[in-house]
Amino acid sequence: MDRRSALKQAALLAGGLAWLPSCDFGPKRVAVALDNLQLDVNLQDLLAKVAATIIPSEENESGEASPGLARPGAEELDLYRFILVMVDDCMEKEDQQGFSNGLQQLVPFTKAHFEKPFPQKEQAENEAIITQLMEMEEAPAATENAEVSPAEQLKDIQAFLGITKRYTIQGFMISEYFMTEKFPYKLVPGPYQACVSTEGLTVM
């Protein structure tokens, strides 16, 4: 390699190193690209929190955080992405709108009508809020200058929570973790067992 080529490569390398600090390779969440739903990163983060409330992670006996989890939850499995794709691809426009409205109204509604708005830091508190929302049969009295009545807000929120719960459970049941750790696939008809005792066998 001649001197001119070596100097050119050194200049390119120096320029590349100077550019690298401006790049953000951190763990920040990027919004999922959707065709029908219009949800920013903050709303997608809120959806992830609701899903994590429905299926939380289970810590090991020592109480240590990941990677010592006894069972990953919706947050670790990124189930909010599955929920978004299913709603965006598989639901009717009316249901998509109700889902979106309920998600957007969740925080304002709980701030206006609950002592503790969603989300809270403690899992138990978030579970109590979600349970209370799902079990509410009558909406609180309307506040002044409210664009949407509490009854309509509650209807959308309950529709959103019902959809989120269904797809959170479905996503967990078909996740790699569940299919490999909890319900591993076995070839049919399974391993051959030459001698099996039938003593005590009950035939229905």
Strands (E), 113-157: none
Whether 102 contacts 130, CB under 8 Å: no
CA distances from 66 to 14, 56, 96 (A): 38, 13, 34
DSSP state at residue 81: H
Q: Which of 92, 74, 72, 70 is nearest to 83 (CA)?
A: 74
What was the pLDDT predicted at 68?
59
Distance (Å, whole) CA 82 – CA 124: 24
Structure tokens that stand for 99 in this block: 């889902």
Structure tokens that stand for 109 in this block: 């509604």
Q: Reduced to 3 states, what is the DSSP secondary structure of residue 69?
A: strand
Q: Which of 142, 145, 80, 84 is nearest to 109 (CA)?
A: 142
Dihedral pair phi/psi, residue 25, rounded to 5°: -105, 20
What was the pLDDT predicted at 168?
96
pTM: 0.72
Angle at 12 between CA 8 and CA 16, to 5 degrees: 170
Q: What is the pLDDT of residues 59-108, one digit of tens each?
A: 755 555 445 568 899 999 999 999 999 999 999 999 999 999 999 999 99
Q: Which of 105, 56, 84 is nearest to 164 (CA)?
A: 84
Burial of 127 per CB tally in 10 Å (0-12, 13-18, 19+): middle
Structure tokens that stand for 149 in this block: 């009545």
Residue with tokens 């989890």: 69
Q: What is the pLDDT of residues 1-49, one digit of tens each?
A: 565 565 555 554 444 434 333 334 334 556 777 888 889 999 999 999 9
Q: What is the pLDDT of residues 160-201, one digit of tens each?
A: 999 999 999 999 999 998 888 887 777 676 677 777 776 766
